[in-house]
Amino acid sequence: MGDIFPGYPNIWIFTAMLKQFFKDFADNARFYSPISDGSKKGVTLDQACSVPILASPQNTFALRAPKITALVLMLAGGVAILLTFWLGSRYPGLLQKAQGLSTYESPSFIYTSVLMKIADNAGFWEKTLATFVNWCWSMRIGMTFGLTFGALLHTYLRYFPLRTSNSIYLNTLKGIILGAPAGVCVNCAVPVACGITRGRSKVELALGFMLGSPSLNVIVVAMILSAFPWQFAAVHFSLIAVVLLIILPLLVKYIHGTAPAPSAAIYDLALPDRPTAQEVLKTYGLNLWKLFRTAVPMMLVAAIFSALAVQFIPFDRIFADAGFFTIALVSFITTLLPAPIAMEVMVAHHLYSTKVAAPFVMVFLSTLGSYSILPMIYLWREVSRKIAVALYLAFATLGIVAAYIVMWLL
């Protein structure tokens, strides 16, 4: 079934959550039952809040019902958002990019949709404005998904905290597995990661999702395997694996720390422990507004930076010199450019087809879209400044190393 519908793993997750919910309902699990018989670890929400409950079946169901309704409402909302995004935009768009890869001519390194055309005789500021507008237009659907789904995760995780492992490596891997089928570019994954961290879940889970989604989506992987010689693909995926599975967990462990997330009872102290549908919708609306106020300014800053960078940097002249300094310069610049998903494949293939030197092709393939100024701002403001800078250096270095490995292999 995963071959028929690439997003199936996330649907499976929602199904598993719903199945677990009904199991907990039947077994009087701690998240839903107001009564504890002492046989289960932890405490109920009512015990955590010191609320006396009459242990009758009628009262038990009456107390469970609002939270059951809230859970079903959020799960249904999540499935609706995912299916609308996947079937209405993301996977048709990715398939179209894959089919047109051989005939693609890049209008820019950072956008795919053109709303404002650039005349041949346009001046600097006119080109900059058009690049800014076209980037925002290219990101509109992905960012809308990121905001709505990120706010939903924030709301869900505050009422129903996610049970995660104490292993940073395992949590990172879980984030990567969840992110890969999502098909979100690293920029539009920022609101989703923000919703995860604001919901008090593990940082490595959020970062695994954010960084794994653009690099390891099944269609993006297939595009890389079909568009380049095996040396390019082998080097690219090997180095991406090193960054995501080794460097990222180590950064979280030694910079951010390993302090466990607060318990479920602590999460619910500031919220109703048996929320109604109206309360959930109100909380979701507030979380969406807070996320909008945070993410949209970051997006605009990224758009302005990228529009100016594309105009200032003479890539055509840089490509003529494949020395260490120019390779490093291109790598450090492209790592910051906020590109749509699969853009790195399309641009790198275009460069490869036009006989640009292999090291530059590899730099674009490894850095463009893997990280950018947008997730860097998010990490700087809400997670850790050191992690934000360290990941930037890691991905920029990845591009340089990949370029020299390919140069050596070819």
137 lies in a domain? yes
pLDDT at residue 129 in the model: 94
Place of tokens 């954010």: 210
3 lies in a domain? no
1 lies in a domain? no
Q: Following CA atoms 154, 155, 159, 163 in sequence, which dihedral angle do they give, to the nearest 10 degrees?
A: -30
146 lies in a domain? yes
Number of domains forming the structure of the chain: 1
Each residue's pLDDT tens digit, 106-115: 678 888 888 9
Output the pTM of the full model.
Answer: 0.80
Q: Is the pLDDT of residue 169 over 60?
A: yes
pLDDT at residue 8 in the model: 46
387 lies in a domain? yes
Domain span at residue 145?
A: 8-409
2 lies in a domain? no
305 lies in a domain? yes
176 lies in a domain? yes
Each residue's pLDDT tens digit, 285-301: 999 999 999 999 999 99
